[in-house]
Structure 1
Amino acid sequence: MTQPFRLYPFATSPDLQLTGSIARAGTNFAIAYQLQGDIDKLVMPPAKDHPSRRDRLWEHTCFEFFLASPKAKPYWEFNLSPSGDWNAYHLTDYRQNLRQEERINTLSFVMAQFPLEAAPSAGQTYHLSLDLDLTPLIAPHQPLAVGISAVVETPSGITYWALTHPEPQPDFHRRDSFTLRL
């Protein structure tokens, strides 16, 4: 079953919309993001011919998601850059013991940008989608709590987007922001 989502900016933001969907079938997980607006005015890392695993992708435009078993402390963080660079991390508890998840050795995702069909003068849509086999991480019927977020860089700074912002500061790692269930 596909679940749509909408991300909300932490504070004031450029005139953008950030939506998408997630789906799961056993250990197959799919996520798609759609960023709509004046994409040309954003700071987007250029696509690389040979993307690779990189750290600190969240310092620039980056699409993120978090997966956890609802009743367990450990969780995973996934970062997807418009450059094609990526990373997957495992944490043992809230922001504790961040390490690269070595059982995931590649994340191959699709990116595309095109004019908005309904109103081309209104901007563009940037689309990013990933299909991921979670077999190395979870059992086929293990429930998942999902947090979805993004960092969007503009010429005037970083904006933070998430399903919810439960604290006075943006914090994508808070378990009460993992609001979707699969």
Structure 2
Amino acid sequence: MASYELNAFDRRFQSISLVGAIEQQGSYSINVGYWLRDPNQLMQWPELEQGNPRQDFLWENTCYEIFIGVHGEDYYREINLSPSQAWQVYQFEEYRYPEEMPPQTANDIELNQLKRTHYGLNVSLDLSEFMLKHKLKWSDMFLGLSAVLNTSQGTQYYAMQHSSPNADFHNKRDWLHQF
């Protein structure tokens, strides 16, 4: 299991720490956990939903995100995971394209389990259809972890790294996990 400390885009904001961990499970599944430390209880949490519904615009509230890129290719997937236990997957042909809102839904990644925990969030995803359709091996892919955190001190943007002048989770340079 590989773990990463996610950094706030606003470097002055040190009140919440966030760690993401990625574990390959079997031939086509991954497990991702997010551990959040909020000693001052600044987080604002959405209400829990039953049945893990797919919903758009989850990033407008507290939302954990996984980006899946493919070496040498422009296309990628964005997975949004809410602590409400709602989720969604979007497909992009290249950087933020197509530009429609909400983005185009992808149906080639399935949810095995999504659960809000006392420490943050845990998700298990089935990538078999995505990987088989594009003839991918684990070594062909790389991942980025990020989060939008709504706090009593405003919205904070966390990622593995921030190399753009603005918080930009779609910047592939910041997707650091290699299989």
> TM-score with structure 1 length normalisation?
0.86
CA distance in 2, matches of 1:62, 1:39: 19
Q: Are 2:52 and 2:114, in contact at CA under 8 Å, matched by a contact in 1?
A: no
CA distance in 2, matches of 1:39, 1:6: 19
Deviation, 1:106, is: 4.3
Alignment of 1:44-63 (within 5 A): 44-63=45-64
CA distance in 2, matches of 1:106, 1:26: 15
Q: Are 1:110 and 1:129, in contact at CA under 8 Å, matched by a contact in 2?
A: yes
Deviation, 1:50, is: 4.0
Identity %: 28
Match of 1:127 among 105, 108, 120: 120
Match of 1:175 among 150, 167, 172: 172
Please give the secondary structure, in 1, of the residue aligned with 2:129: coil
Q: Are 2:16 and 2:36, in contact at CA under 8 Å, matched by a contact in 1?
A: yes
Q: Closer, same or farther in 2 for the Cα pair 1:46/1:39, shift >3 Å?
A: farther
User: What is the one-letter code of the residue matched to 1:61?
Assistant: T
Deviation, 1:168, is: 1.2
Deviates more, 1:31-40 or 1:81-90: 31-40
Match of 1:15 in 2: 15
Match of 1:166 in 2: 163
Match of 2:106 in 1: 101
Q: Are 1:103 and 1:136, in contact at CA under 8 Å, matched by a contact in 2?
A: yes
Please give the secondary structure, in 2, of the residue aligned with 1:176: helix
Q: Are 1:34 and 1:128, in contact at CA under 8 Å, matched by a contact in 2?
A: yes
Does 2:77 align with 1:76?
A: yes
Q: Are 1:30 and 1:129, in contact at CA under 8 Å, matched by a contact in 2?
A: yes
User: What is the one-letter code of the residue matched to 1:44?
Assistant: W
Match of 1:152 among 126, 149, 153: 149
- CA RMSD, Structure 1 to Structure 2 (Å): 1.7
Match of 1:35 in 2: 36
Gaps of 5+ in 2: none
What do residues 112-131 of structure 1 show as CA deviations (whole Å, max 9, x unaligned)? 11xxxxxxxxxxxx221111
Match of 1:112 in 2: 117
CA distance in 1, matches of 2:38, 2:91: 33
Q: Are 1:86 and 1:107, in contact at CA under 8 Å, matched by a contact in 2?
A: no
Alignment of 1:84-95 (within 5 A): 84-95=85-96
CA distance in 2, matches of 1:26, 1:71: 22
